């Protein structure tokens, strides 16, 4: 009898954890999703301005988006939570988990109190997390907890995707690639850089209105990004 033209490879320990967590999330969390397009030209201009002032190390678009998300969470604390059993645990700061792809899996180190850190601080911390994640050097305390997650695969030029919530968090923001497209501003058509984001929410704790208000707040911060230069977000 001819053998199948395939090779069976067991899941790595990390892949087993990812598989368990994702299965748990999809089976126990009633997900719903909301999509929004946001013009980011002013945010890109701010990034260029910041990086021109830096001697070494650069701020990425994702670093600015983490900071913008922290600002939106401070304005909309209903999303800045964990859901444990039948209780909502409210966080006083934006502890944002950043999804990092590594060989055979995903890691989600948490930028604690992102609302209290400068954009440069966020960039330095994220680079350190990414470097140590690739070597398997992250501590358990660095990947536990978090009040919200961001998954950004925009560098792969993906138009849109949605992400699975990382329990016990109640929301995750999936960020796709930015594209140039015509937009109407003050009655005139112009070409802008547009980012499409998809927000996944836990319907046990959050409703459509909560997600819509959060996305509007996020868009407003991104369209007027000067406030992100402040270290502490009121």
Query: What residues are annotated to the active site?
Result: 203
Helical residues (DSSP H) of 114-207, grouped into ranges = 119-134, 140-143
Strands 96-98 and 148-152: parallel
- Taking each helix axis as running N to C, give the angle between helix 61-75 and helix 41-53, from 0 to 180 degrees, rounded to the nearest 10: 120
Please provide the distance, in angstroms rounded to a whole number, between the alpha carbons at the two ends of the chain: 70
Beta bridge pairs of residue 207? none
What distance in Å separates the CA atoms of residue 228 and residue 213, rounded to the nearest whole number? Answer: 19
Strands 171-185 and 148-152: parallel
Q: Looking at residue 169, what DSSP letter applies?
A: B
Please report which helix (H) or strand (E) contains residue 49, including its range. helix 41-53
What Å distances lie between residue 175 and 9, 27, 31, 150, 183, CA to CA? 31, 23, 17, 7, 20
Which residues, 6+ apart, have CB-to-CB distance to 146 below 8 Å? 95, 96, 97, 108, 110, 166, 169
């Amino acid at each position: 009898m001819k053998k199948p033209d395939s090779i069976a490879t067991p899941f790595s320990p990390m892949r087993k954890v990812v598989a368990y967590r994702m299965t748990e999330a999809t089976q126990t969390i009633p997900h719903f999703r909301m999509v929004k397009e946001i013009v980011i030209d002013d945010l890109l201009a701010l990034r260029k301005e910041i990086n021109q002032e830096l001697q070494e190390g650069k701020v990425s678009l994702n670093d600015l988006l983490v900071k913008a998300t922290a600002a939106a969470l401070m304005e909309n604390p209903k999303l800045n939570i964990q859901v444990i059993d039948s209780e909502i645990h409210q966080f006083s700061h934006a502890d944002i988990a950043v999804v990092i792809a590594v060989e055979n899996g995903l890691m989600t180190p948490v930028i604690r109190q992102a609302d209290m850190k400068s954009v440069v601080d966020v960039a330095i911390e994220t680079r350190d997390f990414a470097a140590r994640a690739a070597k398997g050097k992250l501590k358990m305390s660095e990947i536990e907890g978090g009040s919200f997650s961001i998954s950004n695969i925009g560098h792969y030029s993906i138009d849109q995707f949605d992400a699975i919530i990382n329990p016990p968090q109640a929301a995750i923001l999936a960020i796709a690639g930015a594209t140039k497209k015509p937009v109407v501003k003050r009655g005139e058509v112009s070409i802008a850089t547009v980012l499409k984001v998809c927000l996944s929410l836990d319907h046990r704790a959050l409703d459509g209105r909560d997600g819509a208000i959060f996305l509007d707040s996020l868009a407003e911060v991104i369209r007027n990004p000067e406030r992100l230069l402040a270290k502490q977000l009121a």
